[in-house]
Amino acid sequence: DSLKLLPALHPVNIKKSPQPFAGAKQRRHGYRVHLLWLLVLLWTVEGISQTWDDNWGETTTAVTGTSEHSLSQEDIVRISKDLDDSVGLDCKRYLNVALSVILGLVVFLTPLAFLILPHLLWADRLTACGTACEGLFISVAFKLLILLLAVWALFFRPPRAGLPRIFIFRALLATLVLLFVLSYWLFYGVRILDSQDEDYQGIVQYAVSLVDALLFIHYLAIVLLELRQLQPFFSLCVTRSTDGATQHYNLGQLSVQRAAVVILENYYKDFPVHNPAMLTASKSRAAKHLAGLKVYNVDGPGGNNAAAGIAQSQSRAMIAAAARRRDSSHNELYYEEAEHERRVRKRRARLVVAVEEAFTHIRCMQEEEQKKARGDVMDPREAAQAIFPSMARALQKYFRTTRQQHLHSMESIQQHLAFCITNNMTPKAFLESYLTTGPTLQYGKDRWLARQWTLISEASVTSGLKDGTVFLLKCIDFCLVVTTKKIPYIQLAEEFIDPKSHKFVLRLQSETSV
């Protein structure tokens, strides 16, 4: 019965034919096609049903236009673009390395090919290579070795960061080298391969000229990539958006994306670690002062006049009370900060005493261990685990007071304690990492490492820095706002001072006669 419905669902146009069995054959062919499509459809539905789990209805996200918690088409496009970008970064990095290796092999094998091809194609007609020609062989060998080391030192370095756009000068140099080698190959094919030049010394000199030109291009690369940016031209002010931490850096003529890389490299060593817990106090204080005022007009604008007058008078009283409370809020802030500083000093004193007692116990243990046998000596890791409980409570209270409990783990503290014991450091040296907020690199990578930074700039990221350029470096929790100022031109003038102009004569007038 199901097969009888197939022609109705997908009608097959049957043309009249003078043959008696032509229509029957076409109908049977149509049935076979529809049966095949039906089997494919059933197989697809069965495969999809196997991939669904039992609670698929509870975890499915519907893409609609009316649901408040649904995904829009723009969100899907943005998510897919982020996935493509995350996959494309690695592909682009490996593609750049592969292209650089291929170009390097072409450059280094070209002079050798210039010297080998004549011997392979017309060796019987080449002129003998004299002493001068053999000296050129040595010159080519040493120049290629120097060029190999120079290229390795300048270009084949581990990448410090992944840039969103290509490096203009490096791409320009690669294009220049490629065109240069192609032009040499073109001239070599036309003037030497086609004519089968018999002057082998001239061919060797041609290869030497190619190597010399490649060395000059490498010198140009050093000037453009390394020396050009050494002289500072701009002063960049970097401000963290959350707590306002600011640093200034002097940079040379760099593009926006390369300046962003330099700023991020200095950020991890110069800026204190970002502590979002320190920002919650000010937010809670502001919310506490602003939450006192909520006025509701239940009756609406058309309600009872007497009730409206009472509500208006109550709202005025509440506004006046809030104004008086706002005027006295600075006193609350003053006493709150003073109380916090008192608690921090108290916790710090207890921590210092606990650490000094623990280190004193360590010194006593070391003196006792020296009297024992060699095999019974305790290693620094075991010593750190032994004395850590005596200072753990004081450390925990100090971290809670200063809101640093999420920055230090018990394992990292024990490792630092073992390091201090190994190197015979004082308690003050051990506490310095916790009493003062250190740079970002001082803490573990899981505390500060952002997988990806986003560069936001109105100007093109490949354009150079200019006076007034502003761009942002954004991560998950905060962003760095970078403002560019040009270093002013300094004009020095010389002024000559006559040495005789600042001399004086001391005249003594005696009041008494001698």
Q: Domain coordinates of the chain in residue numbers?
A: 89-229
Q: What pLDDT score was predicted for residue 95?
A: 78
Bridge partner list, 238: 247, 482
Alpha helix stretches (DSSP H) within 71-223? 73-121, 131-154, 168-188, 200-222
Q: Which of these, 477, 478, 483, lies nearest to 458 by C-alpha position?
A: 483
What token pair was written down for 64? 């609609």
Query: For each of the chain's 514 residues, which pLDDT tens digit applies?
Result: 443 433 443 443 433 334 444 444 445 555 555 555 655 555 554 443 443 333 333 333 333 333 334 444 445 445 444 544 444 455 666 777 788 888 888 888 998 988 888 888 887 888 877 788 888 888 889 999 999 999 888 888 877 777 888 888 888 999 999 999 999 999 888 888 888 888 888 888 889 999 999 999 999 999 998 898 888 999 999 999 888 889 999 999 999 999 999 999 899 888 888 887 777 655 555 555 555 555 555 555 544 555 555 556 666 666 666 665 555 667 777 788 888 888 888 888 988 998 888 888 878 877 776 666 555 566 788 888 888 888 888 888 888 888 888 888 888 888 888 888 888 888 888 888 888 887 877 777 666 666 678 899 998 888 989 999 999 999 888 899 999 999 998 888 888 888 877 777 777 766 655 5
∠ CA 228-229-235, nearest 5°, is 140
| Residues whose CB falls within 8 Å of the CB of residue 410, separated by 6 or more in sequence, listed in order | 388, 392
pTM of the model as a whole: 0.67
Q: What pLDDT score was predicted for residue 37?
A: 60
- CA–CA gap between residue 202 and residue 33 (Å, rounded): 74
Q: What pLDDT score was predicted for residue 233?
A: 92
- CA–CA gap between residue 110 and residue 239 (Å, rounded): 51
What token pair was written down for 254? 């760099």
- CA–CA gap between residue 153 and residue 466 (Å, rounded): 31
Q: What pLDDT score was predicted for residue 52?
A: 35
Burial of 10 (0-12, 13-18, 19+ CB in 10 A): exposed
- At 409 the three-state DSSP class reads coil
Alpha carbon 325 to its chain's center: 46
In which order are the strands placed within the sheet that holds 234-240?
246-251, 234-240, 479-486, 470-474, 454-457
Alpha carbon 353 to its chain's center: 41
Q: Which of these, 17, 35, 37, lies nearest to 26 by C-alpha position?
A: 17
Alpha carbon 467 to its chain's center: 24
Do residues 108 and 144 make contact, with C-beta atoms less than 8 angstroms apart? yes
Q: Which residue type sits at 263?
A: I
- At 456 the three-state DSSP class reads strand
- CA–CA gap between residue 254 and residue 464 (Å, rounded): 6
Alpha helix stretches (DSSP H) within 122-130? none
**Dihedral Cα 506, 508, 509, 514, nearest 10 deg:** -170
- CA–CA gap between residue 237 and residue 254 (Å, rounded): 15
Q: What pLDDT score was predicted for residue 449?
A: 64
DSSP state, 249? Answer: E
Q: Which residue type sits at 449?
A: L
What token pair was written down for 335? 């006493």
- CA–CA gap between residue 348 and residue 355 (Å, rounded): 11
